[in-house]
Amino acid sequence: MSEFRKAKRCSTCAVRRIACDQKTPSCSQCLLTGRSCGGYHRQTIFVEGDVGLRKSRRKAKDVPSSPSSLKGSEKKPRARRRQTAGPAIKFQVAQADEAFSTEQDYLISVIINNFTPAQERSLVRTVDGTAACLDSRVCGSWVTLLPEITARSLVHPDVLQFAIKSLGYSILRRTLQALEAYGETLCLLKSSLAMAGEVSFEEILATILCLTLAEVLLGTEHNGWSAHTRGVCKLVQENGPDAFKSGVLHQLFTGFRIFMLLGAIQQRKESFLDEPAWKTEPFSSEPKSLMQSLLDEISGLPSLLQRLDAISSSNREQQKEEIVALFKDFDTQMLRLEDWEANLKTSTDCRVLWWPVASSLDPETSFPISYEFVTILVANTMSHYWSFLLVIQLSISTLLALSKENGVDVACLWKQRATISPENRVALAKDICQSMRYHLQPEMGLYGPAATLYPINVALQIFREEKKTKEVVWCENFIAKLETMGILLASHIPSVETVTRKST
């Protein structure tokens, strides 16, 4: 038997699995949500020693302060580890004044601590008391919903429970257990999808979201995460945009929307998210964040890439017509993005959103300066914005080459303002790289590093094409650092082409 005490929080907050400020006669959480505060009843609880709690508490002491101290990896001196592995991932889930009644509670806390900014943890919505999901970053903005969704779980054994295990174990570097839970989740997910009405839709979505993040950390294969996004796309599309107007489903939708669009860009297949209803109805009662407004502007990009790939299969006359049409559409897409940036600068009332700072005194370094941002959301959004610009510019360059081969004069159609040149592409790629350091700050947990995968991939492709050897080496070293931080999907970046053509 294993003995421990409950956390110091009122019984109401304990049931809801949220933090409590322990004020009397009623805590702030209960006051905000209009609930009756249950008071503070400390009691001793006994559980069987094999349920995972004792292991969780013991293992928590052994959780590596830096990913490079993972068991089985090459051991390095402490000072060197800090230098080469980058910011340490801070696990703050097993403090002396906090204990967990189940292993699932512990793993949920691990997930939230690593994918949520400290100031957002344990926030509640004052209207209905549900967990807040502030859409403040690319990766993991939905994880604060896990306690609420699991509390409403409809089945046992719970498919979401195993998905949480897979993601939580992935964070803790318990790879074998993560893979076992991953496989169990897939089996349960298959049967759950067949049980219409017995498993909630939000539970299914949360399950697949957990598996997607687990894929990012485990890196089992280069397109494993995109397989999950295709599954989510089908489920989301079947339910229609009205289902995602508010509540948990809205927050899950906004948290996964970028993954669905990045998956479509990688596959170069048109997306239903480009339909007007999907840009308006899910946001009819909730405002759009900076990232969501950017996603509105690039939702048509996957369709353009699909049409570009299809040109070679057309006859010569059709190719000429499609080249002209595509050139106009890519030109319009470029203008829309430039207008988005112009509106962003106007709407912020001249407030500086990012600025350069010295990052190295070494004159030989590839990037002696880096960018600081007002928030992680701005950093995520701008690094992806520069990436999307690069994809469009490369596509326009491809069209220019095709127009020459087919004798099509597109000079009169060229209205876009940005210079389509190798020098401009290199400059954008450098912007991406100069934003990477900000994402790797220790307080960014895993949500910062995980958001760099797509932008650094695009930047690396540009530097390789332009034969910028020093910059290529910098990108490869950065990718290696991501791997040491536990983002093992980074190991597949050099083998994945996402910019100029389909992956083969």
pLDDT, average across residues 199-209 = 88
More confident residue, 153 or 131: 153
Q: What whole-number distance in Å separates Cα of residue 127 and Cα of residue 87? A: 37
**Residues near 304 by beta carbon (within 8 Å), at least 6 away in sequence:** 326, 329, 330, 333, 395
pLDDT at 154 over 80: no
Q: What is the pLDDT of residue 36?
A: 74
The more confidently predicted of residues 238 and 89 is: 238
Class level of CATH domain 1-47: few secondary structures
Measured CA to CA, the distance from residue 494 to residue 47 in angstroms comes to 48
Among 165-174, 267-276, 370-379, 489-498, the minimum mean pLDDT is found in 489-498
- Picking from 44-48, 276-280, 331-335, which range would have the lowest pLDDT averaged per residue? 44-48
Helix and strand element counts for the chain (H, E)? 21, 4
What mean pLDDT is predicted for residues 86-103? 47
Contact predicate 117/376, CB 8 Å: yes
Give the pLDDT confidence score for residue 193 in this predicted structure: 80
For residue 241, cis peptide bond before it (omega within 30 degrees of 0): no
| CA–CA dist 370, 354 (Å, integer) | 10
- Residue 40: pLDDT above 60? yes
Q: Is the separation of the CB atoms in 166 and 211 below 8 Å?
A: yes
Q: Tell me, what's the pLDDT at 24? A: 75
Containing 264, the helix (H) or strand (E) segment is helix 247-267
Amino acid at 35: R
Assess whether pLDDT exceeds 50 at residue 68: no
What is the C-alpha to C-alpha distance for residues 210 and 214, in angstroms, rounded to an integer? 6
**339-367: per-residue pLDDT in tens?**
999 888 887 655 788 999 987 666 667 89
| % of the chain surpassing 90 pLDDT | 42
- pLDDT, one tens digit per residue, over 361-419 is 666 678 989 999 998 999 999 999 999 999 999 998 888 888 888 887 766 655 554 46
For residues 461-490, average pLDDT: 93
For residues 97-125, average pLDDT: 76
Instruction: Using the predicted structure, report yes or no on whether residue 123 has a pLDDT greater than 70.
Output: no
* Residue 407 falls in which region: left (phi positive, over 0), alpha (psi -120 to 50) or beta: left
* Cβ–Cβ under 8 Å, residues 192 and 159: yes
| Paired residues of 5 in beta bridges | 44
How far is Cα 79 from Cα 72, in angstroms, rounded to an integer? 19
Structure confidence at residue 139 as a pLDDT band (50, 70, 90): confident
Give 276-324 pLDDT, tens digit per residue.
Answer: 999 999 999 888 889 999 999 999 999 999 999 998 777 878 888 888 8
Cβ neighbours of residue 306 closer than 8 Å, sequence gap 6 or more: 268, 269, 270
Among 7-11, 41-45, 86-90, 381-385, the range scoring the smallest mean pLDDT is 86-90
What does pTM read for this prediction?
0.77
DSSP letter string, 94-130: --TT---SSHHHHHHHHHHHHHS-GGGTT-B-TTT-P
In terms of Cβ atoms closer than 10 Å to its own Cβ (0-12, 13-18, 19+), residue 287 is exposed
What pLDDT is stored for residue 469 in this prediction? 93
- Taking the C-alpha atoms of residue 460 and residue 466, their distance in angstroms, rounded to an integer, is 10
Strand residue runs (E) in 359-450: 369-373
Tell me what the pLDDT averaged over the chain comes to.
78
pLDDT of 352: 83
Evaluate the CA torsion angle 412, 417, 419, 420 in order and state its sign.
Answer: negative
**CA 270, CA 282: separation in Å to the nearest integer?**
20
pLDDT at 116: 85
Phi, psi of 197 (to 5 degrees): 85, -15
What pLDDT score does 359 carry? 78
Q: Which pLDDT score is estimated for 201?
A: 87
Residue 54 has pLDDT above 50, yes or no: no
**Among candidate residues 473, 474, 491, the one with its CA nearest the CA of residue 482:** 491
Longest pairwise C-alpha distance within the chain? 82
pLDDT at 223: 80
Averaged pLDDT for residues 143-148:
88
CA angle 165, 169, 174 (to 5 degrees): 140
Residue 484 contacts residue 85 (beta carbons within 8 Å): yes
